[in-house]
Amino acid sequence: MCVNYLCPHPDQLPLFGVEAGELVWQEEAWQDYAAPFVVAGRQGLELRLGNYGLVPKRHQPDGMRLSTTNARSETVAELKNFRYPWRAGQRCLVPMRAFFEPSYETGRAVRWRIGLADDAPFAVAGLWRAWSEPDGSISHAFTQLTVNAEAHALMCRTHKPEDEKRSLVIVRPEDYQAWLTARRPDDAHRLLRLFPAEEMRAEDAPLAPREGAIKPTPQLLPRTLGLFD
């Protein structure tokens, strides 16, 4: 599933009800990168910077390399790494401009950039947790929720033919509060659904060199595939 996505520009964060402040992050997020996420705080919505991957590499047993960037909605309540934040209602929104998935329709892996049809930033359903660090500080980490996408017109075209098709859960703005404040797991589960394919777009996006700290300037879009144009 998704292990790489484009973070929002700081000037796009008011769309999610928060401000960047002095937080700085990379243009693209990969596992164990610091990236922004949104939670419901006591005084309203809060922006936090956290590790992309609910169990950071530094907190994993020696010799183990867990991938916790994604949590399956079907098993999130049972798996050791995810069940506590799920049951505790530690839900978050992961703002982004697009995410990347491979397609094998040509017989080889082609990297696709996937986002909304109007190229607007959007938020993905996630979970977060806190970690105690050796120096006494507290850090944060997050993961993204996924659902089965075998019947989705766009997401069924990603990954190898034999692989299960999955999709991140894009949350509509009118559901932000419901997702963030859902206390009962059943209420949260009802929001884990596929986003309509006709409101999404995929673009051919070869992997580019990773850049430095994010700058609030527009990026040129790669060639569109015209899947739903």
Q: Which of 126, 123, 116 is nearest to 197 (CA)?
A: 116
Distance between CA 121 and CA 6 in Å, rounded? 10
End-to-end C-alpha distance for the chain, whole angstroms: 24
The pLDDT value recorded for residue 63 is 85
pLDDT single digits (tens) 127-142: 999 999 999 999 999 9
pLDDT band of residue 2 (cuts 50, 70, 90) is confident
Distance between CA 83 and CA 81 in Å, rounded? 6
Q: Judge whether residue 221 has pLDDT over 60.
A: no
pLDDT single digits (tens) 72-126: 999 999 999 999 999 999 999 999 999 999 999 999 999 999 999 999 999 999 9
Q: Which amino acid is at 183?
A: R
Residue 196: helix, strand or coil by DSSP? coil
pLDDT single digits (tens) 89-100: 999 999 999 999
Distance between CA 129 and CA 56 in Å, rounded? 11
Distance between CA 11 and CA 33 in Å, rounded? 20
Q: Write down the pTM of the prediction.
A: 0.89
CA distances from 123 to 14, 129, 169, 205 (A): 12, 18, 8, 21
